[in-house]
Amino acid sequence: MKKVFIKTYGCQMNVRDSEAVTALLRKRGYGIAVRETDADIILLNTCSVRDLAEQKAIGKMTGLAHAKKRKPGLILGYMGCMAQSRGAELLKTPAINLVVGTQKFHHLPDYLDQLTGRAGCPQPAAVVETPRRGEDTAPYQILDIKDEAGSESAVKHHEPGAVTAYVSIMQGCDMHCTFCIVPATRGAERSRPILEIVDEIRQLVDNGVKEVTLLGQIVTSYGRKKSEFVKLLTAVNAITGLERVRFTAPHPQGFGDDLVAAYRDLEKLCEHAHLPVQSGSDRILKAMRRGYNREKYLKIIEKLRAARPGIGITTDIIVGFPSETDEDFEATASLLREVQFDQGYVFKYSKRRDTPAATMPDQLPEPVKEDRNQAALAIVNAAALCHNTKLIGQTVEILVEGRSAKGAKRMMGRTRTNKIVVFDGNERQAGQLLPVRIERATTVALYGNK
């Protein structure tokens, strides 16, 4: 039996895609290798959102191509976003056998059958499949995955025994943020019907899942009609046996009063919102084509904090967008100080191919981006530590997910506000909602005792 190892880069959507592909390959009779060195086939599920993510995967593949000299039968492939955006040019390294874009995962078992000779036909040296945007009209890709699995339930595509699960509700993105490559790598927006999503979650709950995260590039555009996303949240909230609901990633524009009210009214919806602000300068927000200004953004935060006191609010920031002045950056820094986010992810602007920002004048030098990155991080980290420190001495409810790391003695779970809590416990507690007393805090985690 040939064994496959999949290494995943990037976002939760990629994690979910890797799970689904793993299930498809298992069903086709492939084994899943726990270690890369045991594998006959290695696939890198790639990310394109920043150049660094692409370079990581390319660096990894270069190492694997080298290792292939000692193991000539090894099959190497790129899948996912970078495969989609770079396509056949990735085959320049002769050691690479396979490049499969985001819309074509369901063909992977066939391609691997061909490459391993299982299909009974001559073995091709390489396969590439990356549809161009608009070419693929499939309404929603998971349907294709289901076809492959026949009548089997979607739950078979999830990690067995898990307490939490990602559930894909839509794919693609129709926003046109000028810095972002995602519309090109993930295609146009397609939503999955509510009933199908609810059905999948019911099955997950029957299998022991307590918390689901609804996934999509822009979940607040779900169904493309106003309030459709809130309708979905309401339906999921009503599922018996489910304890917690989360979603990612939303767009600030999608936080209308109905969604704010959902935070107040839906008891399973966790009090955490990830609201990527990107910049605090109105001029830069406009150049990014974000569709809101600083004032509107701050208003949303104010409403959310009023609807759910104690809500955890996290964000993404881009520093060094083309033409960003010291004054623009200061506007971002002041917004960070004003909001005091629970956590923030700061990124240096990275030029992406075929995006409008890549050809804008006044691209900033790397040292300027680096300085602003450090300055923004210092504010973000100070706020995170302050929020976390306030919890010392308090007892919080966590959902226990499992061991804190592979082989570690301590257990980990999350608060409803999405903070990681590490504590002394035992494996039997996985899946339980437990009160934990917080004793110590860092910028990224809380430590406590049962």
Cα–Cα distance measured from residue 132 to residue 156, given in angstroms and rounded to the nearest whole number: 30
Looking at the DSSP bridge assignments, the partners of residue 445 are 420
User: Is 50 or 308 the residue whose CB approaches ligand 5AD more closely?
Assistant: 50
User: Is 150 or 367 the residue whose CB approaches ligand 5AD more closely?
Assistant: 367
> Tokens in use for 207?
């299998």
Among 162-170, 323-331, 342-350, 384-392, the segment contacting ligand 5AD (CB under 6 A):
342-350
> Tokens in use for 60?
């990894």
User: Is 97 or 350 the residue whose CB approaches ligand 5AD more closely?
Assistant: 350
Judge residue 84's burial from the number of C-beta atoms within 10 Å of its C-beta, 0-12 exposed, 13-18 middle, 19 or more buried: buried
Binds ligand 5AD by CB under 6 A, chosen from 14, 45, 281, 350 = 350
Site string for ligand 5AD, 295-334 (x = CB under 6 A): ---------------------x-x----------------
Alpha helices in 187-293 (DSSP H): 194-206, 228-237, 257-265, 282-287
Residue 46 in the binding site for ligand 5AD (CB under 6 A): no
Cα–Cα distance measured from residue 154 to residue 19, given in angstroms and rounded to the nearest whole number: 11
The amino acid present at 128, given as its one-letter code, is V
Report the residue number whose CB is nearest to ligand 5AD: 316
Instruction: Note if the bond before 235 is cis, omega within 30 degrees.
Output: no
User: Is 266 or 345 the residue whose CB approaches ligand 5AD more closely?
Assistant: 345
Site string for ligand 5AD, 18-37 (x = CB under 6 A): --------------------
User: Is 165 or 364 the residue whose CB approaches ligand 5AD more closely?
Assistant: 364
Cα–Cα distance measured from residue 134 to residue 184, given in angstroms and rounded to the nearest whole number: 10
Cα–Cα distance measured from residue 231 to residue 255, given in angstroms and rounded to the nearest whole number: 14
Residues 69-98 that bind ligand 5AD (CB under 6 A): none
Shortest Å distance, C-beta 105 to ligand 5AD: 21
Residue 251 in the binding site for ligand 5AD (CB under 6 A): no
User: Is 355 or 415 the residue whose CB approaches ligand 5AD more closely?
Assistant: 355
Residue 50 in the binding site for ligand 5AD (CB under 6 A): yes
Residues 166-225 that bind ligand 5AD (CB under 6 A): 179-180
Judge residue 136's burial from the number of C-beta atoms within 10 Å of its C-beta, 0-12 exposed, 13-18 middle, 19 or more buried: middle
Shortest Å distance, C-beta 345 to ligand 5AD: 7
Residue 352 in the binding site for ligand 5AD (CB under 6 A): yes
Among 106-114, 145-153, 324-332, 346-354, the segment contacting ligand 5AD (CB under 6 A):
346-354
> Tokens in use for 119?
């299909």
> Tokens in use for 244?
């917690």
The C-alpha R_g of the chain, in whole angstroms, comes to 22
Residue with tokens 């003695």: 409
Residue 278 in the binding site for ligand 5AD (CB under 6 A): yes
> Tokens in use for 312?
């955890």
Residue 380 DSSP SS3:
helix
Chain residues that interact with ligand 5AD, rule: CB under 6 A: 49-50, 179-180, 276, 278, 316, 318, 347, 349-350, 352
